[in-house]
C-alpha cells in the first residue's frame, strides 16, 4: 500500500484529505496538535501521527529522516494572518511566508530522495488567493502566489514527480471562522466549500491514471 504524508492533518482540509486517502494509503499525519493527530490515527486503518513544528528545520529533518520512499506528500498546513498593507506588520508577513512557503519548501527538499524513489506525487493546497490578491489579503495572497511559483518550478525540475496545485475557494474550516470573525461578519458554514469537497478533488488528482498529470485544480463554492 502506498505511503502518504499529509501535513495540517489535525483539522480542516487536512483531516478531510487524510480520511479520503485512508482506504488506499498508509498515512503519516503531520501537524502540531499531538492529541488531535493521535485521535485521528486511531480512527483510520493504517495511520501514524507525526507531531512536529514545520517551521523548525531541525525538528522536521529528524522527524522525516527515516522515510526512504514516499508516494504522496500533501502540504495542507497553512496560516492566514490578513491585513491591509498599511496595517500588516513584518510579523504578519513573516508568519505567512514561514508556514505557507518556507516550511513547504524545506519539507519537500528533505523528502525529495524519498519522493524520487517512489516516482511520487506532491500536492500543494493553495488558495483562490494564489490567483488573485484582494484588498486586505496582501500578506496571505503573496505567500500563496509564491507557493504556486514553487509548485511550477518543482514540476519543471523534477520530471519523475507529479506536482498538483489545488486552489480551493473559501472553505468551511476553523481558519475560515477566524477570517470571517475578523471581517466582522456572521459565520454561515453553508456559504463555503466543505473540506470533503476539497479532499475529493485531491483524491481525483492523486488517482488519475499513470498517463495523466493533473497540474492545477481550481474549486469554488456553488
- Cα–Cα distance between 209 and 194 in angstroms, integer? 26
Cβ(176)–Cβ(221) below 8 Å: no
Provide the β-strand partners of residue 74: 6, 123
CA separation (Å) from 41 to 53, 178, 195? 18, 26, 18
**Which residue among 73, 115, 127, 140 is the active-site one?**
140
Tell me if residue 140 is catalytic.
yes
Minimal CA–CA distance to 55: which of 35, 34, 30, 36?
A: 30
Q: Which residues are catalytic?
A: 140
Amino acid at each position: 500500500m502506498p505511503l502518504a504524508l499529509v501535513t495540517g492533518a489535525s483539522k480542516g482540509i487536512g483531516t478531510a484529505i487524510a480520511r479520503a486517502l485512508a482506504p488506499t494509503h498508509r498515512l503519516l499525519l503531520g501537524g502540531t496538535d499531538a492529541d488531535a493527530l493521535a485521535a485521528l490515527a486511531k480512527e483510520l486503518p493504517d495511520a501514524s501521527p507525526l507531531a512536529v513544528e514545520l517551521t523548525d528545520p531541525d525538528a522536521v529533518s529528524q522527524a522525516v529522516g527515516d522515510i526512504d520512499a514516499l508516494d504522496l506528500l500533501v502540504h495542507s498546513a497553512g496560516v492566514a494572518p490578513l491585513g491591509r498593507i498599511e496595517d500588516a506588520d513584518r510579523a504578519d508577513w513573516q508568519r505567512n511566508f514561514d508556514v505557507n512557503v518556507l516550511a513547504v519548501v524545506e519539507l519537500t527538499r528533505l523528502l525529495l530522495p524519498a519522493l524520487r524513489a517512489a516516482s511520487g506525487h506532491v500536492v500543494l493546497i493553495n488558495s483562490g488567493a494564489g490567483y488573485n490578491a484582494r484588498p486586505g489579503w496582501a500578506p496571505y495572497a503573496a505567500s500563496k502566489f509564491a507557493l504556486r511559483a514553487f509548485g511550477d518550478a518543482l514540476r519543471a525540475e523534477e520530471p519523475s514527480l507529479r506536482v498538483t496545485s489545488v486552489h480551493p475557494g473559501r472553505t468551511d474550516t476553523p481558519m475560515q471562522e477566524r477570517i470571517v470573525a475578523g471581517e466582522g461578519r456572521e459565520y454561515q458554514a453553508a456559504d463555503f466549500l466543505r473540506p470533503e469537497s476539497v479532499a475529493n478533488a485531491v483524491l481525483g488528482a492523486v488517482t488519475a491514471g499513470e498517463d495523466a498529470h493533473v497540474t492545477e485544480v481550481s474549486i469554488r463554492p456553488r
